[in-house]
Structure 1
Amino acid sequence: MPLYFAYGSNMDRAAMTAHCPRSRPVGIAQLARHRFVIMREGFASVVRDPGRSVHGVLWDLALADIGGLDRYENMAQGLYAKLYLSVVGPSGPRRALIYVGRNSGPGRAAASYMEPILTAAAAFRLPQGYVAELQRHLPPGREPIAKPRAAASAYRLRERRPP
């Protein structure tokens, strides 16, 4: 099964279960030399930035789920492009499928879009500084969410051991 690096709404376990029911989280990962942005359409993407990194969740993507993920990411309408990039995950550097927005912005995300991203980022225990960066994408006047301690235990992962 291919690996998939989620850095936006697909970090949320419930969202992934809805359109990729056979896929499982492997652990957290990092995409070097990129930064998180919001596209003009209001959705997450990444752009090259040599001094930054994007943190996210690495999924073991079932082949049967790829079509559902493509539909969710509006591949037919050209919203995202699929790339395979190197990420550093629980077992070291790996190539992973990543959906990158064709329009890098700038844009604004709705609170209803960003809040599940922030909840998943905190639950998967992404670095606090990175979660604070993500919080800057909340609409003006919106308070950052608190770390969901109870949700963190529900997101605990077993580290996958290499064969």
Structure 2
Amino acid sequence: MARTFMYFAYGSNLLAERLLINNPTAQFLCTARLHDYRLTFDSPRDTKTMPWAGAPATIRKCPGCSVWGVIWQLDIADSDSLDRQEVFYQRRMVTVTTPDGTTYTCRTYELDGEFDISHTPSPQYKDVIVRGAKQNGLPEAYISQLEAIEDNGFQGKIPVYNKLICQLEKQQQQPPQ
């Protein structure tokens, strides 16, 4: 029986520090692209009540489009934790392709259903996604697309964001080993 699983992250879990908060076994495997999907921001409820104070990222089928992300390998012990973190999403299995053409079947998460109202992410959530994309060397053109996404201008505090920023600042202050 498999003791690990592969997870394709395209949202806030692009950033290693974000994923590792609740999933300590996560290890970077590689970057990959999900073909025939697009990245969008959607919400099953009022975004003011969402953990990131805005719409979460999701994927939607879209022929000819693609979403870049990261493949993480996790111990099966983190499976339930990851499901709880992605509480608004449904688990999906997708096939992604690495830059060298290798394909992997991975778990990912997608919001169930289509919603009539267009939503935007908070600036903090968008920042974590962009930081993760840069941290993992996603293509510059894709990073530019992420940076161009309109946000909702939320100015309040988001506990998980504040925790991440503190952690990243501490890491930057530590001397290299």
Indicate which of 90, 97, 104 corresponds to 2:107: 97
Is 1:82 the counterpart of 2:91 in the alignment? yes
Partners of 2:26 and 2:66 lie apart in 1 by 25
Partners of 1:59 and 1:35 lie apart in 2 by 20
Runs of at least 4 residues of structure 1 off by over 3 A?
none
Match of 1:107 in 2: 119
1:82-133 Cα distance to aligned partner (Å, 9 max, x none)? 1111011367111000101114453110001110110110121111111111
Percentage of identical aligned residues = 26
SS of 1:2's equivalent in the other structure is: strand
1:141 CA drift (Å):
7.4
Asked if the contact 1:5–1:58 (Cα under 8 Å) also holds between the matched residues in 2, the reply is: yes
Asked if the contact 2:90–2:111 (Cα under 8 Å) also holds between the matched residues in 1, the reply is: yes
Match of 2:31 in 1: 28
**Structure 1's 43 and 140: CA in aligned 2 closer, same or farther, altered over 3 A?**
closer
SS of 1:61's equivalent in the other structure is: strand
SS of 2:93's equivalent in the other structure is: strand
With structure 2 as the length reference, what TM-score do the two structures score? 0.73
Partners of 1:49 and 1:93 lie apart in 2 by 19
With structure 1 as the length reference, what TM-score do the two structures score? 0.79
Is 1:128 the counterpart of 2:140 in the alignment? yes
**Structure 1's 104 and 27: CA in aligned 2 closer, same or farther, altered over 3 A?**
farther
Indicate which of 54, 59, 75 corresponds to 1:62: 75
1:138 CA drift (Å):
3.8
Indicate which of 1, 6, 15 corresponds to 1:3: 6
1:140 CA drift (Å):
6.6
Q: In terms of Rg, which structure is larger?
A: 2
Is 1:43 the counterpart of 2:56 in the alignment? yes
Is 1:53 the counterpart of 2:63 in the alignment? no
Aligned length: 140
Which amino acid in 2 is paired with 1:127? P
Partners of 1:116 and 1:57 lie apart in 2 by 14
